[in-house]
Chain A
Amino acid sequence: MTVTASSPEVIAEPSLLREGIAAFARNRVALVGLAFIVVLVVVALFIPWISHHDPYRVALDEQFLPPSLTYWLGTDNFGRDVLTRILYGARISLLVGTLPSLISLVIGAALGILSGYVGGKTDAIIMRLADMMIAFPSLLLAMVVMYTLGANLLNIFIALALVGWASVARVVRSETLALKGKEFIEAARANGTSRLTTMVKHIFPNVIPTLIVLFSLSIPDAIMWESSLSFLGVGVQPPEASWGLLVAKGKEYLLQAPIVAIAPGIAILLTVLAFNFIGDGLRDALDPSMKD
């Protein structure tokens, strides 16, 4: 071939993933958040081996003990170790934080891409549905679901997924519309690629960075939701411990032993903050290096 494009060596290609990770690792705040969550997850998983306290044992003679070497944060109204309760509660709160987000992400992404790419009536229908979901007071919706289906963990997942998919769909639809105008999508059509394949192989991979960021930012939301629902009595039921429930129960004894309510509240605060830092870090890491 006559014409060569002599070029400086193209740098050995780090995969897109590795570039993203490297960019994330440069963000100290995000790393702190990540560290916190990792520690929390590890501790929550291994809590039965770490703490010898039984979160369900009732010992009324040990009510409201102040913090001590045995009970690091003291005890609650049933004589149970507060810290252990919080850490067991972490399991539920983290679970509830991540799973429903994942479900609403999957539903929202699929509907968003479909809506944005296909357009027309499909778009109109999906977006009106989404509008309705967003307009309806979500807390009320979640409560209604919980009342109808019964207050247990599975139903919390359903309720939160239902509440969450619509805003994901809207964001994904915008991105899809922006991508649709780009020439590589036209190129796919010019090559005879089917619509379905285009959506799956071209649109979806380019929407993933947004989804990752949405995911990490929706986790704190979900944790707050669960806390609110449990606080209102329609979420997790005692004697299970979730952070929302701990705060709810603890508030009754705010004057006697404030730590019982405040400690789980602080746990919520720190966890939500950590996820926010991670989400921001991901967004910064993924956006500039991916955009040309």
Chain B
Amino acid sequence: MSRVVFSTRDLTKHYQVGGGLFSPPQVVRAVDGVTLDIYERETFALVGESGCGKTTLGRVMLRLHEPTSGQVIYRDQDLTTLNDKAMRGLRNKLQIIFQDPYASLNPRMRIEEILAEPLRTHGYGSPEEIRERCAELLDMVGLRRQFLRNYPHQFSGGQRQRIGIARALANKPDFVVCDESVSALDVSIRAQVLNLLSDLQQELKLTYFFITHDLGVVRQFADRVGVMFLGQIVEVGPAEDIFKRPLHPYTMLLLSAVPVADPHQRGRERPIMKGDIPSPMNLPTGCRFHTRCPFATELCAKQEPQPREIDGRTVSCHFPLAA
């Protein structure tokens, strides 16, 4: 039984938006009470659509944005209680790989400098040791050592993403947040980079928190999945279980909406969600999903469902789909 390496307890992040001289600011509850456990060496995928808060959650978990309330626990240490200095000291263990290969590398720095920076910040060693480590990192991600001298704009999107991965791995982290790390890549390159991430996970014993909207990637790579909607997790559980038998109506609609690359399956029954996702500034009463849910009842409009354990999963729904 794996141990829990990272967890959040009732984590929230609220933003104040707008508000002028005569009107109060509105509150956006981007992350609203998220409790999760992530096990050592697993790939935990967080899925959801725009406005669900998954990107914010990733940032808040690493304290790149400060949480409004709640706890973030890494190996029994509550990160929210640490001061800046202590937090910075931990940053070599907690890393993030970004989505946009074009914006995630400083265009005016050579690759060697980009890779050396985290090493220097955490006192890796002498300049020679640092240089050798940079070359090692490029080896690890399948790029030639001479690329250390080049600038980011000379590389393709896929190569830049590999450099971003190398940078994240510089100080041997054990927990890595992948924020839509392959979404901006072409399909054929995506598979290459995913394979790389998978291999690295084995070699370096990494735990991945994989934020994505691509359910195909989730099915192939994730061990467990969390489905997020308007700031809350509505279903969590083993990936295969969730794909075969989603319990939350939103999960079911999400899965049925994905186009299938097989024309013979065209005629299949698939419910399609009506209307638009409500704005995070204007949350519905009761269960947040009830305005879009084909199975909603009066209860759903009045009362927020609490997370329950069903069949080894956690679901927040008054009427989870047939168990």
Contacts and interface: CB of A to CB of B under 8 A. Distances in A.
Nearest to A189: B64
A190 to B, nearest CB: 5
28 contacts: A1-B140, A3-B199, A5-B141, A5-B158, A5-B159, A5-B192, A10-B146, A10-B154, A10-B155, A11-B154, A13-B110, A182-B103, A183-B103, A187-B104, A190-B62, A190-B96, A191-B117, A192-B89, A197-B121, A201-B109, A202-B106, A202-B109, A205-B106, A206-B107, A206-B108, A290-B153, A292-B152, A292-B153
Given A184-B105, A190-B62, A5 B162 contact: yes
Contacts of B150: 10, 13
B192 A3 contact: yes
B149 interface: yes
Interface in A2-25: 2-5, 7, 10-11, 13, 16
B319 interface: no
Question: Which of A13, A16, A191, A208 has the most CB atoms of chain B within a 10 A radius of its CB?
Answer: A191
A186 B108 contact: no
Interface string A178-210: 000011101111111110010001100110100
A104 B195 CA distance: 52
Interface residues of B, number: 52
A183 B143 CA distance: 22
B109 A205 contact: yes
B318 interface: no
Interface of A: 1-5, 7, 10-11, 13, 16, 182-184, 186-194, 197, 201-202, 205-206, 208, 290, 292
A16 B108 CA distance: 8
B163 to A, nearest CB: 10
Contacts of A2: 142, 195, 199
A194 B117 CA distance: 11
B139 A292 contact: no
Given A5-B142, A13-B149, A184-B106, A192 B159 contact: no
Nearest to A193: B121
Interface string B44-58: 000000000000000
Contacts of A13: 110, 149-151, 154
Question: Which of B121, B140, B152, B195 has the most CB atoms of chain A within a 10 A radius of its CB?
Answer: B121
B39 interface: no
Given A5-B142, A7-B155, 9 more contacts: A3-B192, A10-B155, A16-B108, A16-B151, A182-B104, A184-B105, A186-B96, A205-B109, A292-B152
A188 B64 CA distance: 11
A189 B94 CA distance: 12
A290 B107 contact: yes
Given A5-B162, A184-B105, A191 B143 contact: no
B173 to A, nearest CB: 10
Nearest to A181: B103
Contact of A193 (B99, B117, B146, B199): B117
A186 B62 CA distance: 11
A70 B99 CA distance: 71
B64 A190 contact: yes
B88 interface: yes
Contact of A183 (B92, B104, B122, B147): B104
A17 to B, nearest CB: 11
